[in-house]
Structure 1
Amino acid sequence: MEKLLNIFVESIFINNMIFAYFLGMCSYLAVSKSVKTANGLGLAVIFVLTITVPVNYLLENYVLKEGALSWLSDSFAGLDLSFLSFIMFIAVIASMVQLVEMVVEKFAPTLYSSLGIFLPLIAVNCAILGGSLFMQERNYSNIAEATTFGFGSGIGWWLAIVGIAAIREKIRYSDIPAPLKGLGITFIVTGLMGMAFMGFMGIKL
């Protein structure tokens, strides 16, 4: 349980997808103009990461990795399908994003309209694929660890986009120098938020 808590805290604060790896910056910058749309996209990212990381963990360990198919027959023990990792991971992500898109369109049409093209673009959001690739690289020992990492990474991304959206709503009425308006001040604030999150690296887990 302690290890799961460590993975969860690390994925939110220390290895934050936005502030540590700059993954998913396009959606982060484009959709963070209002808290409502940022919150909607953030929740969608949490859902997709929480589902796709454990599914891709099972895919990696029981289908793709060398020897993973030994449960079928001993004749498959030497088969290595790891070269298919990228395309299989993306296929799982795309199918989950399609499911999210249909649900949001059905139950929250206003949010669906606000998110526009950025909702289906979750499928190619590098934070989503990055979650599965980090899971693969870190070689988690069970599906609970992979699920915790996916959920924590989603929470971290949601915190980042809702945080910047709240700040952007406030500074809209501030006296900002003309050359810094828009993306200029957003990049500066993002850098400051990244430095603030670096302070969590001092946490001893």
Structure 2
Amino acid sequence: MEHIELFFKSIFIDNMVFATFLGMCSYLAVSKKVSTAVGLGAAVIFVLAITVPLNWLLDQYLLQPGALTWLGEEFADYDLSFLSFIMFIATIATMVQLVEIVVEKFSPALYNSLGIFLPLIAVNCAILGGSLFMQSREIATLGLALNYGVSSGIGWFLAILAIAAIREKIRYSNVPPALRGLGITFIITGLMAIGFMSFGGMLTGGDEEAPVEETTVKVEEPQKDSEQEKVVANNIKVNE
């Protein structure tokens, strides 16, 4: 249940673009065509799916205070958390370089259409934000870290795919001159953010009904007449 909740919350409620506005530069620049948006979105999913679990392992077994206890008790007091940014960025840059090599090898057309934005994934704040959010939310297991990386990438992919499809359609719409270009794109992005975050009411369960406590009412039985009262009552009847 925890994996399912994290998966859908990362896609819709905590979407990288619509909730935290991370990765907006690539989101706006590469969303003019659906084909390029799909390619970049798939690359972001791959990079997040690899870097978030790797950075989770680095954080758990190297960077956190006391994480080096597996090397021996003399390393228990070491704290390398100040190296988090450097280690995370190094991991991300390595994976992005791998993605660039693979895309250039198997899809030269996509590589040329993405241009400078493919290597710029290394400095995409959405990629680094995924690892930092993983760290700040104290994700407990490697499986949850992988789940968070994949779901965050899917959320970013859906965002750029949706805006690219809309921007292709509004080319033929009668948009006011003052709003053409980025103006109407920002307005549409805001409306899409409202739509995505509205899923919060569906994924957040309703208040659990408080258990009804059964109350028992004790009915006191009328006290019996004492022996003396019975004797008095009998004497009154005899006298009558």
Q: TM-score range by the shorter chain?
A: over 0.9
1:145 counterpart = 2:144: yes
> For residue 39 of structure 1, what is the aligned residue in structure 2?
38
Mapped partners of 1:8, 1:201: distance in 2: 13
Q: Percent identity among equivalent residues?
A: 68
> For residue 176 of structure 1, what is the aligned residue in structure 2?
175
Name structure 2 gaps, 5 residues minimum: 206-240
Q: Displacement of 1:179 after TM fit?
A: 1.0
Deviations 1:78-123 (A, max 9, x none): 1000000001000000000000000000000000000000000000
Mapped partners of 1:172, 1:26: distance in 2: 21
Mapped partners of 1:123, 1:200: distance in 2: 30
> Amino acid of the residue matched to residue 103 of structure 1?
V
> For residue 111 of structure 2, what is the aligned residue in structure 1?
112
Give 1:156-195 correspondences, 5 Å limit. Answer: 156-195=155-194
Question: Comparing both structures, which one devotes a greater share of its residues to helix?
Answer: 1
1:86 counterpart = 2:85: yes
> For residue 19 of structure 2, what is the aligned residue in structure 1?
20
Deviations 1:23-43 (A, max 9, x none): 000000000000000000000
Q: Displacement of 1:72 after TM fit?
A: 0.8
Mapped partners of 2:144, 2:27: distance in 1: 26
1:199 counterpart = 2:195: no
Mapped partners of 1:28, 1:41: distance in 2: 9
Mapped partners of 1:67, 1:194: distance in 2: 40
> Amino acid of the residue matched to residue 32 of structure 1?
S
* Structure of greater Rg: 2
Higher relative contact order (CA 8 A, sep 6+): 1
> For residue 77 of structure 1, what is the aligned residue in structure 2?
76
Mapped partners of 2:80, 2:50: distance in 1: 22
> For residue 95 of structure 1, what is the aligned residue in structure 2?
94
1:6 counterpart = 2:5: yes
Mapped partners of 1:49, 1:10: distance in 2: 16
> Amino acid of the residue matched to residue 131 of structure 2?
S
Deviations 1:19-70 (A, max 9, x none): 0000000000000000000000000000000000000000000011111111
TM-score in terms of structure 1 length? 0.98
Q: CA RMSD for the aligned pairs?
A: 0.6
Deviations 1:176-198 (A, max 9, x none): 11111111110110011011112
Deviations 1:120-145 (A, max 9, x none): 00000000000000000011110000
Q: Displacement of 1:201 after TM fit?
A: 1.2
Deviations 1:139-184 (A, max 9, x none): 1110000110010000000000000000000001111111111111
Mapped partners of 2:20, 2:137: distance in 1: 15
Mapped partners of 1:202, 1:65: distance in 2: 35
